[in-house]
Amino acid sequence: MQYRHAPAANHAALDAVLASAPGRPTLPVRLTVELAGRARVHLPADAPLTVWDPCCGAGATLTVLGLLVPGLARVVGTDADPGPLDLARRNLALLDPGGLTARAADLEALAARHDKPSYAEAATAARTLVPAGTPAWSVTLADARDTAAVRSALAGAGPHGTGPDLVLADLPHGHRTTWAASPTRTGGVAGTPAPDAGPVRAAADDRDPGVEFLRAVATALRPDAVVVAVGRGRTVPLPGGARPLERVRVGHRAAVLVRAGALQEG
Ligand SMILES: C[S@@+](CC[C@H](N)C(=O)[O-])C[C@H]1O[C@@H](n2cnc3c(N)ncnc32)[C@H](O)[C@@H]1O
């Protein structure tokens, strides 16, 4: 993939400003900005956007978007696991007026206490970063397949309450970020996490947890909303018949951009 919307930059200091949980890797900053830029091409120009991350984890993806991408009105995070949501609130507080200054002060205190230059560098990054905007934000515990919980978390989101314009989801992969146990799938042991999505299969399969997830996410969206899903492996499977807007590969990741309407029909 050639980067068209995110110039090369060293984001190490921004990474250090974000609070992260060990073993919970997040999308690279540049890839996050690039995918938002590509999605934006398919959305009305200059309209303030509402972005939903339905598996927001520690909120890094949404915080990076809020800090670096102009024109966001609101970012909404939901996740089936309560574990990382306090971190998500901490990260998203960076989008509040004064949020970066407060984080810089925390990092300076840590730098003084532990005599660690990395904290001081992160503090400088927090003080010098000029945020692209100050979108409103919220974080809620919700399994993306639980329609009622999702609708309540998204209440009032989007222009005139019409829901999010853009979904950006880094799909679960690996040991620490597995799919939550399905409330609907049969054949498994209740409460047992679905197997690691592993290298995602190219063929659409309704039993694929990613396909089930995308279908569920689309039920909460307007047909013209754009969904960006990122997975590990060669491709991100879509429901049968759903035509993507675009597919990209970058390193060991694959991403798909697709209209919610295509997911609803697929
Ligand atoms: C790769 S992580 C996302 C990282 C996140 N973008 C960040 O910035 O930290 C995948 C997340 O999906 C969540 N997840 C798994 N199954 C889910 C489901 N059915 N509904 C919502 N979230 C789910 C996991 O709890 C995990 O936090």
Residue 229 has pLDDT above 70, yes or no: yes
What's the alpha-carbon Rg for the chain, to the nearest Å? 18
| CATH number of the domain within which 217 lies | 3.40.50.150
| CA-nearest residue, atom 11 of ligand 1 | 55
Whether residue 191 is contained in a domain is answered as yes
Residue 9: Cβ within 10 Å count: 11
Collapsed DSSP state (helix, strand, coil) of residue 259:
strand
Whether residue 110 is contained in a domain is answered as no
Whether residue 60 is contained in a domain is answered as yes
- pLDDT at residue 190 in the model: 34
Rounded Cα distance, 124 and 13, in Å: 8
Count: domains in the chain: 1
Task: Indicate yes or no: pTM above 0.85.
Answer: yes
Whether residue 65 is contained in a domain is answered as yes
pLDDT band at 13 (very low <50, low <70, confident <90, very high): confident
Amino acid at 139: V
The answer, yes or no, to whether any atom of ligand 1 lies below 6 A from the CB of 60, is: yes
Q: Which atom of ligand 1 is nearest to the CA of 60?
A: 8
Q: Which atom of ligand 1 is nearest to the CA of 180?
A: 16
Residue 183 has pLDDT above 70, yes or no: no
Domain ranges, residue 254: 12-96+133-265
